[in-house]
Structure 1
Amino acid sequence: MTELFVVRHGETITNAEHRINGSLTDKPLNKKGIQQAENLSKKINIDSFDEIYTSPLIRAKKTAQILSKGHQQIHLDDRLKEVNYGSWDGVVNRGLMEKYPDAFNVRHFVTESYTKYAINAEEYEHVYARISDFINDMAKKNDKRILVVCHGFISVAFFKVVTNVPSINNILQPDNLGVSKYLIDSNGESFLSYYGRLDHID
């Protein structure tokens, strides 16, 4: 089976300010985010991975560079970009929650109904489709260990696609540098091993 390790990028200033952090908000890691990535780099053996894939957004790419330690080529993949929140990208969460409470769940996570209000926003179903396509490609890797660096909602999307859980409202977004592990067989069937770990990465 292919082993897929999905990592959320390190913290950015927009994370710290509790802003909507989508694909249009292409900010670098802050000092804490860099330290988070460096901490994880000490907990994993990067040489045990056959390939590294990352979202091309700055925060994910920098995280991947820190984790790779220059040992491996990093493959950029647009399918791993964070969801495009359209006109909501970069906006402070609190103001949006006050104005559009039905677009957030009890954990203050943006629900799929947000597209009723955000202009030029990406539907969650489109995100699930691109992640499903990525997983199908990884199924052809024949027992390789693959490191994937992406984003908060993309991490949730991996969980949704693999487990087929009915609603993402019951899925917590991993912390920055949280790691999730999936197993994928050659037929494309996938399994969750663990979700959002910050230590004991194996």
Structure 2
Amino acid sequence: MVKKIYLIRHGQTYFNVRGIVQGSGIDAPLNDTGQQQARQFHAAYAAVPFDRVHISTLMRTQQSIQPFLDAGLPHEKHRALDEISWGHREGTRITPEEDIEYHGLLRAWQRGETHLGLPGGESPEEVAARQRPFIEQVLRGRPEEENVLVCMHGRAMRVLLCQLLGYPLSRMDHFEHRNLCLYKVHYTGSMFAVRNYMDTAHLG
């Protein structure tokens, strides 16, 4: 049996629109556009016989898949799926000075220095470490679940995709994302393969 993992990023928040850094420390709700994106995704995928839904502990992921929960699908919350902590930048508007800091960190990650993080925040390696038990227990430990829906966050999703597909974390920016985009990943029992890449067709 092929396990099909529908991996989505949460819908749009007011923080996304205003250019304010969220991370794991900001529990922002969806805005009106994000709520509409959630309804559009549900309309496109309501017929998929999902066995279980997995979300982060932050409200923007639950709100993004709330129509599925309202239909009675079992779900679980996992801190493993929370966004990376951006430390001292969380809750602040992006400024040119912070852009220098942020892009400098991205370049360091692309050089393979994925042990680094912003002051007070997490590194990609720390995010990967907290995700690994989720991968082992949920994605590989329940072979009877054929269709699984996972809703999480942009940077954390990039880290997760690297782990599933065997890429080094230095290549995580190859996995682009938008609000309520879909990555569909198939797991054969020995390997993962991406079938849908940053799919937003459901958003019209």
What range is the shorter-chain TM-score in?
0.7 to 0.9
Task: Please say if residues 115 and 125 of structure 2, whose CA atoms lie closer than 8 Å, have aligned partners that are also in contact.
Answer: no
CA separation in 1, counterparts of 2:47 and 2:69?
Answer: 6
Amino acid aligned to 2:10:
H
User: Identity of aligned pairs, percent?
Assistant: 23
Partner of 1:24: 25
Quick check: 1:2 aligned with 2:3?
yes
Partner of 1:176: 179
CA separation in 2, counterparts of 1:15 and 1:128?
Answer: 24
SS of alignment partner, residue 127 of structure 1: helix
Quick check: 1:165 aligned with 2:185?
no
> TM-score of the superposition, structure 2-length normalised?
0.83
Task: Please say if residues 116 and 124 of structure 2, whose CA atoms lie closer than 8 Å, have aligned partners that are also in contact.
Answer: no
Partner of 1:88: 89
Quote how far apart the aligned CAs of 1:146 are: 0.5
In structure 1, runs of 5+ residues without a counterpart are 106-110
SS of alignment partner, residue 131 of structure 2: helix
Amino acid aligned to 1:147:
L
Quote how far apart the aligned CAs of 1:26 are: 0.8
Task: Please say if residues 4 and 182 of structure 1, whose CA atoms lie closer than 8 Å, have aligned partners that are also in contact.
Answer: yes
Quote how far apart the aligned CAs of 1:59 are: 0.5
SS of alignment partner, residue 141 of structure 2: helix
Quote how far apart the aligned CAs of 1:24 are: 0.3
Task: Please say if residues 29 and 62 of structure 1, whose CA atoms lie closer than 8 Å, have aligned partners that are also in contact.
Answer: yes
Task: Please say if residues 88 and 119 of structure 2, whose CA atoms lie closer than 8 Å, have aligned partners that are also in contact.
Answer: yes
Quote how far apart the aligned CAs of 1:200 are: 6.4
CA separation in 1, counterparts of 2:15 and 2:187?
Answer: 33
Cα–Cα, structure 1 residues 168 and 76, in superposed 2: closer, same or farther, change >3 Å?
same
- Alignment map for 1:68-147 (pairs within 5 Å): 68-95=69-96, 96-98=98-100, 101-104=103-106, 112=114, 115=117, 118-137=118-137, 138-143=139-144, 144-147=146-149
Amino acid aligned to 1:132:
R
Task: Please say if residues 46 and 67 of structure 1, whose CA atoms lie closer than 8 Å, have aligned partners that are also in contact.
Answer: no
> TM-score of the superposition, structure 1-length normalised?
0.84
Amino acid aligned to 1:174:
H
Partner of 2:155: 153
Quote how far apart the aligned CAs of 1:154 are: 1.8
Partner of 1:52: 53
Task: Please say if residues 3 and 145 of structure 1, whose CA atoms lie closer than 8 Å, have aligned partners that are also in contact.
Answer: yes
Quote how far apart the aligned CAs of 1:101 are: 4.3
Task: Please say if residues 40 and 67 of structure 1, whose CA atoms lie closer than 8 Å, have aligned partners that are also in contact.
Answer: no
Amino acid aligned to 1:192:
V
Amino acid aligned to 2:176:
Q
CA separation in 1, counterparts of 2:158 and 2:73?
Answer: 26
Q: Any runs of at least 4 consecutive aligned residues in structure 1 with deviations exceeding 4 A, and if so which? A: 111-114
| RMSD, aligned α-carbons | 2.4
